[in-house]
Amino acid sequence: MESGQLLIILATAIASATPLVFACIGETITERAGVINLSAEGTIMLCAMVGFVAAKTADNVWLGFLAAAIVGALIALVVAYGAITLKQSQIAIGFVLALLCSDLSAYLGNPYVRIPGPTVPPRFPIPVLQDIPFIGPLFFREGDVLVYAGYALIAATWFYFYRTRGGLTLRAIGEQPAAAFARGHNVIALRYAYTVIGGALMGIAGAAFSLDFKAGWSYRHTAGYGWIALAIVIFGGWNPLRAALGAYLFGMLQSLANVAQSAIPDMPTQVFTVAPFVLMILVLVLTSSDWLDRLLSYLPVNARRSLSRTLHTAPPAALGRPFEQD
Amino acid sequence: MEGTAAPQTMTTPAHIAGLPPAFYRIGAFVISLILVAFIILISGASPTTVIGSMVSGALGNADQIGRVIATLSPLLLCAAGLVYTFNAGLYNLGVEGQITFGAIAATWVLRLLYPEGATASLLPPPVAIALAILVGGIGGVLWGLLAGALHVYGRISEIFAGLGLNFAATGIAIYLIFGPWKRPGVASLSGTQPFDESLWLGTFGRTEATPVALALGLIALIITIVVMRNTYFGLRLRAVGRNLRAAYVLGVPARRQLLSAFFICGLFAGVAGALQVVGVFHRLIPNISSNLGFLGLLVVMLVNFDPLWILPVAFFFSALNIGSLQLPLSLGLESSLSGVIQGLLVLFALLGRGLAQKYGRKPEG
């Protein structure tokens, strides 16, 4: 395989993973604030439909993204209300919304199945950056606006998390809400805000599928991506950089599945479409279990420590628990 | 979506103000019905016509009632199984995979007992069917225990262990349907070669409902009611679900309780999967679980994990599913409306429960 071809395959993988980057960053923000938005599967599916229909009706792609973001935020608001205000199980509410929203997308989107609609303008090489050897063609030549927005989102989220006061507070309300409250932060309002922001990003992820990377809409258009996003957040150890890495890795796995498909013609093609999902979850299983620790214990102490620190991650301490403010 | 504007009673002390808790639950239920009507109106249809079409589509004739019962039977099994995992505090989203793997195991047995090209089953058909259901149950148990082991020994959220195994089970089913078990000639998404009619489960008359499946569903439900209400096992399961650490400290073998819950749920789900094979589809298809596992999760959430109410709710949900199949034919609407109704009912039941707890009048003392 020529190196030029390989670059294009890799660049395509990066592009196809972009919607997932939005979803994973959105869920990471939500979970860092201590709330699990388990509705991801339904949110992405419904917002893919809403984004497509809005863009088609208004004949404007960006209005599609706006509509999807609003719907994603509204779904997240239901999760926040049920989980934070009413203190019901976040898992139960999120799961019901996952099913409800995917059925809603099928019911309301029925007249819009498999028709052409507006799409994000393709391929937008960035003038100077695209000429950097290797990195340029890989990251800055084949992508469209959304791919670069994805990069910006990753960088901005990382910077916000680890380099700003607001980010410190965000991490605090997920780890030690009582302490954050004692320091004068309104834990409940902040959790609402971050859940809604995360939901809006998941909504954008949905529209990114239907208006760009899997252009068009049909029932179960984005099937499986919400569950994968939730798994990648764990794989990414609730860190935006690692979550994004996980999303790109998943994109690679999908490209590899396409390559493998042509290499092993006897295998039914449908197996390859499920394979990346299974692999990703297996990786999650291996990295988050204590079997890994046991394996690491055979290594010399120094190597063990640094490896364990890189591989092992813990969820925010207050994840999934309602906060009693009064 | 955010239709439940809570009555503003926050300023008055909770023990004085607040309406009876039932008010909030009924109010939430009414709002969910209004939303259903609204969603039907958005799609340009009339709610009364749609509901009339669904009722006649579910209960109009013996054939349709038969289909409702054919859906109800595996749903009862799944919901009954989920009562154990829910009461143990586990969100067993892997139940879909457990159904699928049970179906795969049952298909495997039947293919062994009736090899391609044979003219009769190696064992008498009733024995072969019974064996297929049994092995299907074992298949479900294996898949359930796998998720259980990942959760109990691997510290992995049972939600993700289960979901991962759902993907894996679907992958295996698709691989078998397109690979080793493909139909002679063309392999397609329509599934494996149908079994010989001698291996089909007998039905009530000419309907799709099978007495054996219904009986198994009801037996599973009755066992579950008895176990949860009248046994020490059920009590310990609830203790583990309420507070795992406290239960463990007080001497409840928590790990064993959790794995038992996965075992029983997997068994029931596996049997449901086997029944889908021998009773409904008569072959393995990619979507053999038909979302019954997720529907079971909704049923159990709606009844607040209390098995006593499963039968009526599961019947209602099955009728919704079958009735909605009429919609594309008669009104040109998507049949997923049934899922929308089920989802809204459960969502608002959860929100209504929360409102009742937060704003409802507290009992005296």
B139-156: pLDDT as tens digits: 999 999 999 998 888 778
Check whether B4 has a pLDDT greater than 50.
no
pLDDT at B260 over 70: yes
Between CA A20 and CA A31 the distance in angstroms is 16
A168: Cβ contacts below 8 Å, ≥ 6 apart: none
Measured between alpha carbons, how far is B163 from A279 in angstroms, rounded to an integer?
Answer: 12
pLDDT confidence of residue B283: 93
CA B249 to each of CA A204, B85, B233, B254: distance values in angstroms, whole numbers, following the listed order: 47, 21, 17, 9
- Rounded to the nearest angstrom, the gap between the alpha carbon of residue B341 and the centroid of all alpha carbons in its chain is 16
Reference B280, options B181, B212, B329; nearest CA is B212
Handedness of CA A274, A277, A280, A282 (dihedral sign): negative
A86 with B355: Cβ contact below 8 A: yes
| Closest CB to A99 among B179, B339, B358 | B339
Higher pLDDT, B12 or A187: A187
Reported as a single tens digit per residue, the pLDDT across A178-208 is: 999 999 999 999 999 999 999 999 999 999 9
Examine the pLDDT at A36 and tell me if it is beyond 50: yes
By residue count, chain B amounts to 365
**Would you state the structure tokens that stand for residue A148, as one six-digit string?**
């670069």
- State yes or no: pLDDT of A275 exceeds 90: no
Rounded to two decimals, the ipTM of the complex is 0.91
pLDDT recorded at residue A240: 95
Query: Which of A45, A90, A95, A261 is the best mutation test for B, with the most CBs of B within 10 A?
Result: A95
Amino acid A311: pLDDT: 66
- The answer for A290, left when phi > 0, alpha when psi is -120 to 50, beta otherwise, is alpha
Mean pLDDT computed over B71-83: 97
Res A153 pLDDT > 60: yes
Q: Which of the given ranges, A14-18, A162-166, A281-285, B244-248, has the highest pLDDT on average?
A: A162-166
Predicted pLDDT of residue B10: 47
| pLDDT number for residue A326 | 58
So what's the pLDDT on residue A241?
95
A265 in contact with chain B, both atoms CB, cutoff 8 A: no
Where is pLDDT greater, at B251 or A295? Answer: B251
Residues of B in contact with A88 (CB under 8 A): 350-351, 353-354
Determine contact, residues B74/B139, Cβ cutoff 8 Å. no
Q: Which residues lie below 8 Å from residue A184, measured CB to CB, with a gap of 6+?
A: none
What does the pLDDT read at residue B6?
Answer: 46
Between residues A122 and A191, which one has the greater pLDDT? A191
Residue in chain A lying closest to B160 (CA): A231
Could you please report the per-residue DSSP string of B68-124? HHHHHHHHHHHHHHHHHHHHTT---TTHHHHHHHHHHHHHHHHHHHS-TT-SS-SS-
Task: Report, as an integer, the average pLDDT of A275-283.
Answer: 78
Query: Quick one: pLDDT at residue B3?
Result: 42
| Pairwise CA distance, residues B150 & A282, whole Å | 11
pLDDT in tens, A233-242: 988 889 999 9
Nearest to B347 among A85, A100, A234 (CB): A100
